[in-house]
Amino acid sequence: QQQVKQSPQSLIVQKGGISIINCAYENTAFDYFPWYQQFPGKGPALLIAIRPDVSEKKEGRFTISFNKSAKQFSLHIMDSQPGDSATYFCAASRSSYKLIFGSGTRLLVRP
Amino acid sequence: KAGVTQTPRYLIKTRGQQVTLSCSPISGHRSVSWYQQTPGQGLQFLFEYFSETQRNKGNFPGRFSGRQFSNSRSEMNVSTLELGDSALYLCASSLAQGVNTGELFFGEGSRLTVL
């Protein structure tokens, strides 16, 4: 019940395309769903986050879609750029800093 | 504003030894969390400290321990090292407004290799 399942494991997208990463969870007590971006040699950095009282949140080219009934949430990267090439992690938590992370998606955006 | 600082960045130990890793959070941040990152297990929560008290603990053996000092700096210790402890150990800090989840700011990690 504590798992967060993330897919796909890797993703290749052409520049200007849309990158979509999906996550699913089981624990309905989770109340915070962030996405982190990690570049090689760096620690993860918060990209965008959502709480279950909204179905979508957009920040620039990044959008989280949240489906509470399906217990799924996804990250959409519009107009993907080579600089977006990184590993992306979804996560979930229950009112704490104990984040349960997905397994990560390695995104490569080709020029 | 300086970010989260972790030392050392790289270290090599042998099985059976112990190691201490240090983390200096962002100024003003009172919560410090530790995560282990490995290719096989991904990012796993170790523990979280707030005002020198461990507030949350992950599913790691007792060989993994930590503490937080009055200036919010934190250390984690791993005793009797095993090969499987080789990992990137990440520290993250947060303002910790009450118990509400907020943004975690990660350091660049300490990469531990156990031979």
Q: In this predicted model, what pLDDT tens digit does every residue of A26-55 receive, in sequence order?
A: 999 998 999 999 999 999 999 999 988 999
**Overall average pLDDT of the A74-100 stretch:** 93
| pLDDT at residue B98 in the model | 54
Residue in chain B lying closest to A93 (CA): B101
A chain contacts of residue B108, beta-carbon cutoff 8 Å = 41-43
| pLDDT at residue B56 in the model | 87
Distances (CA, A) of A75 to A16, A30, A107, B71: 16, 17, 12, 37
φ, ψ dihedrals at B52, nearest 5°: 70, 10
**Overall average pLDDT of the B21-41 stretch:** 94
- Of A43, A89, A97, nearest to B94 by CB-CB distance is A97
**Dist CA B109 CA A111 (whole Å):** 30
Interchain contact B104–A (C-beta under 8 A): yes
Local structure of residue B26 (DSSP, 8 states)? P
Interchain contact B25–A (C-beta under 8 A): no
pLDDT, tens only, B71-93: 999 999 999 999 999 999 999 99
A chain contacts of residue B96, beta-carbon cutoff 8 Å = 97
Burial letters A35-50, b for 16+ CB under 10 A, else e: bbbbeeeebbebbbbb
**Dist CA B34 CA B54 (whole Å):** 11
